[in-house]
Structure 1
Amino acid sequence: MFTTVKSGAEMVALLLQAGELVTAALAGVQFSLLDDDDALSVMGALEAVGRRVDGGRISSAANVGFRADSGLGHDSLAWKNGCRGKFELITGVTRISSSEAKRRMRLGGTITGVSSATSGLVGQVMPVRHPAVAESLAAGELGIDAADVIVTALEQISTRVAPDDLDRAERALVASATGAITPETEGLPGAGIAFSADLIRAQAHEWAAMLDPDGAAPSDDKTAAKSTFGFGLLRDGLYPLRGGVTPDLRGVMNGVFNTFLSAHAAPAFPSAEDQARLEAGELIPGAEEAVDDRTGGEKCADILRAVFEKTARDPKTPTMGGAAPVVMVHVNARDLKNGRGVGWIDGVDAPISLRSVNQRLCAGGYQQVIIGDDGHVLHLGAKERFFSPAQRRAIAARDGGCVIPGCKIAAAWCEVHHVIPWQSQGKTDVENGVLLCWFHHHTIDTAGWDIQMINGRPHLRGPVLFDPTRTWRPAAAHRANTPSSDPPWLRSKQ
């Protein structure tokens, strides 16, 4: 069997024809009008077309990258085209990002048989380091994402694992990514199913741990992975987090996040009795639960905030200069009175909104500092409006957790909210404090929930969306405040 070698012009012509066919197939398509089955079929077919192109993209980028290597001097393809380097040349022709160009070149260097330009053997055929990946890419069965995952994992252990074992792992991972049944996967659970790149990454970690356990979990302190954490520069109002965590710390963090996220994950459906009451115009306790449209990432960030704030309140937390951790928030008195302006936190460049300032004042107390025109501190007042630990325990015993119906956040993670705001001379005592989680405390002024105290107990009135009657209802009390013999729906009426 002979392979016909096409010229560059012939390949370009054929690829342009293929592009026209794809354009014709997509012309006039309205994806929103497709039924469910067709929508999935079209998406799968489009991805199959993309995979057929991926192998060529990688090989082409790797080849051009080798030809444009700066080590070739004036023979470099980049120099000949007036570019400063191979990445400028590739991104200029393809219009992809430099990071994607680097990924294609890195991947191409491990699966193609093209030699390095710096060796002076451009165009010479060299052994392919990952033939199973290269073969599946060329056949359009494997995408760039999955190929990158497989190659990256194998390259990390390639110098410490026998070639036969490495080859067996590669073929097994490729089979899992393409859905092929091979001797490496035959008889295993899931054989014949094509898995996503994310699941292939997990399988690759398992193979690496099995073939190279010392490399996967090094015991030498000098080579062991260490968690690191830091902040980047302010961007779009946020400080990006930088660093990484070890698998064990990731496990601890997952446990904390999952525990709190699960509090809102379980759906609650009304019983037949509750449904009848709803149809009669009554509102069952808990049915007025607020809609939480935060993303998973936003919820995790709020959980992390609660963890740090609880730690700051914990009496076992180490002190600085004899005092518990304190966040110093500075705000101009005139701005605070007028409700316009910003606040500033020591050690943080970016300002915070007055809404956040008021929440901090409500939950954490404040200390009045009067500064003269010359910058000298004229007066340092005592702490004001700070709920004492004893008051907080009393409020927690009464409320049991966040008082917003349906919220499951425990008392230890909540903040104490002044029912009558401090700006309106609200007192700092048990009869004027209720527990709110950070999210509901942060949105209490805009979410439509009203709170008032009646006979020493908080009562709530839900927004029109949840309670068209806008009826005041007692907040759920701590579970211990109701005898176990009473049915749950009576507990909010005690």
Structure 2
Amino acid sequence: MVQAVLASIDLDALSDAEVVAFTQMVEHAGRPVDAARVGAATVVGYRSRAGLGRDSMAWRLGASHQNDLLTRLTLASRQEMKRRLALGEKVAPRVLGGQVLEPEFPAVAAALTAGELGVDAAEAIVKGLTDYKVHGRFDADQADVESAEISLVERATGSVFDRIPGPGESEPDTDTEPGVGGGVPSGFTGPIRRLRDSDGFTYPADDLRPLAVRMQALLNPDGLAPNETTLEATSTISFGELARGLHPLRGGVTPELKGVIQNLFNTFQSARSAPAFPSAEEQQRIEAGELVPGEVIDERTGGEKRADILRGILVQVAQDPRTPTMGGMPPTVMVHVNATDLLAQAGVGWIDGIDGPISMRTINQMIDNGGFQPIFFGGTGAVLGLGNKARCFSPMQRKLITARDGSCIIPGCDCPPQWTEVHHVIPWQTGGTTDVGNGVLLCWYHHHTINTAGWKIRMVNGLPQVKAPHWIDPTGRWRTPEKHRAHDPQTRRQDE
């Protein structure tokens, strides 16, 4: 019946207001079903628990374990079944010594059953407070923990849930209803029920997580300092195996270290580039998040930007003279490629200590910036000699190019100059010289994509000119980058 009604609705024909109302309606209608899914999975899981042996429901139905049975019954993923079971353990009634006890999270359970709390929000509350429940990692007053749970449920649902009078208890002879103020317990011992609408704001599931963190600080303020020390000792960063061209980065950092990293990312991450000396009007538009004429949108995702920022930071640290050396040399990425492959622009290269190969395009980019040094081998594979370093811009050449270009010459790029690389405008493979008149500054991203993203660069009278891809500049004009402030007439003092 419900399916037929939903199928009869033409969503494209609805007005904006009707689509909004419909979206909210189906979300609320689906919550009781989601709660029933969690409940059903919990019962199946309990009847299929490992300790039952051959009496397990899973065993009797030919499944290997509870998750196997659930995935066969629902055709959902194992991850989803684990998710439902984990939540169900926290919101289902408990049995102890033959006595049925209320759920570990009674307010969450009541809101789920009432169809007012979504599964995502329930998980956020449960995960945020589990360590503070009985037998959790931290000692906390359980009345305060329940108060925090009730408060979070109220903020997630817009409804006040609290305990109703138990046996021998009666409503107080006042006009004040239980639970007034959000999270203030009624003092009753009966079951938790919905009492009324809340006067406060409601929050989506993602916003409940930081709210739960605030609750944690209130529940156990003395436990934060030793916990921080413990986490500091176990913070870790590691690399996974190469998969689809990427090494997954794994680990965890403390809130303090995340703050340092996040501030670095926020400092450099921007989808727009502001003029060196914006006018008052331009500055207002920048602060309002609007585009300034002449800007180019950076279409990289946030994750791609953060990876490029991290690369720039690490490269800068590696080049810092204060960085510890290895064998008398600064940290240097050593790439090996066969000379025949390099000349033919075919094949791949290999980085010392890394399993996966790198493409010839990446090799050319690294040579473009850092040069190369030939090693001569004999017929038996013995090293015969080491050639001179070639195709590498000297530190003085880089200073001169930086003085001219300022930073990455691609319009709209706000990469700091110290993170840029020097690019041969005429490739060294085709006879391009390694001198100031053939080098320009590019950030790693634009250097890596210069041959594929549609940007063109040429040198005219010793100055670079750039032509944007057609979708950015349909005129196809060559334009001189307006980069270094010292060479911009608008930023120089004019003689009167």
Q: What is the deviation of 1:402?
A: 0.8
Alignment of 1:22-421 (within 5 A): 23-27=3-7, 29=9, 31-32=11-12, 34-115=14-95, 121=98, 125-159=100-134, 160-180=139-159, 183-185=180-182, 192-218=200-226, 221-222=229-230, 226-262=234-270, 264=272, 289-421=295-427
Partner Cα distance (1:247, 1:220) in 2: 9
Alignment of 1:460-475 (within 5 A): 460-475=466-481
Q: Which moved more, 1:335-344 or 1:236-245?
A: 335-344
TM-score (norm 2): 0.83
* Consecutive unaligned residues in structure 2, runs of 5 or more: 161-178, 185-197, 283-291
Shift in CA distance, 220/139, structure 1 to aligned 2, threshold 3 Å: closer
Shift in CA distance, 144/385, structure 1 to aligned 2, threshold 3 Å: same
Residue 277 of structure 1 corresponds to none
RMSD, matched Cα: 2.9
Q: What is the deviation of 1:113?
A: 0.9
Q: Which moved more, 1:200-209 or 1:325-334?
A: 325-334
User: 1:337 corresponds to which letter in structure 2?
Assistant: L
Shift in CA distance, 309/399, structure 1 to aligned 2, threshold 3 Å: same
Q: Deviations over 1:115-153 (max 9, x none)?
A: 37xx7x5xx522222111001000111111111111122
Partner Cα distance (2:112, 2:312) in 1: 47
Partner Cα distance (1:32, 1:341) in 2: 52
Q: Which moved more, 1:258-267 or 1:232-241?
A: 258-267
Partner Cα distance (2:14, 2:364) in 1: 50
1:433 aligns with 2:452: no
Shift in CA distance, 163/467, structure 1 to aligned 2, threshold 3 Å: closer
Aligned residues of 2:371 and 2:391 also touching (Cα < 8 A): yes
**Matched pairs, number:** 448
Shift in CA distance, 114/302, structure 1 to aligned 2, threshold 3 Å: same
Q: What is the deviation of 1:225?
A: 5.8
Q: Which moved more, 1:41-50 or 1:478-487?
A: 478-487
User: 1:27 corresponds to which letter in structure 2?
Assistant: A
User: 1:379 corresponds to which letter in structure 2?
Assistant: G
Q: What is the deviation of 1:214?
A: 3.0
Aligned residues of 2:455 and 2:468 also touching (Cα < 8 A): yes
Partner Cα distance (2:227, 2:62) in 1: 50
Q: What is the deviation of 1:421?
A: 1.1
Q: What is the deviation of 1:57?
A: 1.5
Secondary structure, aligned partner of 1:379: strand
Shift in CA distance, 381/214, structure 1 to aligned 2, threshold 3 Å: farther
Residue 173 of structure 2 corresponds to none
Q: What is the deviation of 1:250?
A: 0.8
* Consecutive unaligned residues in structure 1, runs of 5 or more: 1-19, 275-285
Secondary structure, aligned partner of 2:217: helix
Secondary structure, aligned partner of 2:441: strand
TM-score (norm 1): 0.83
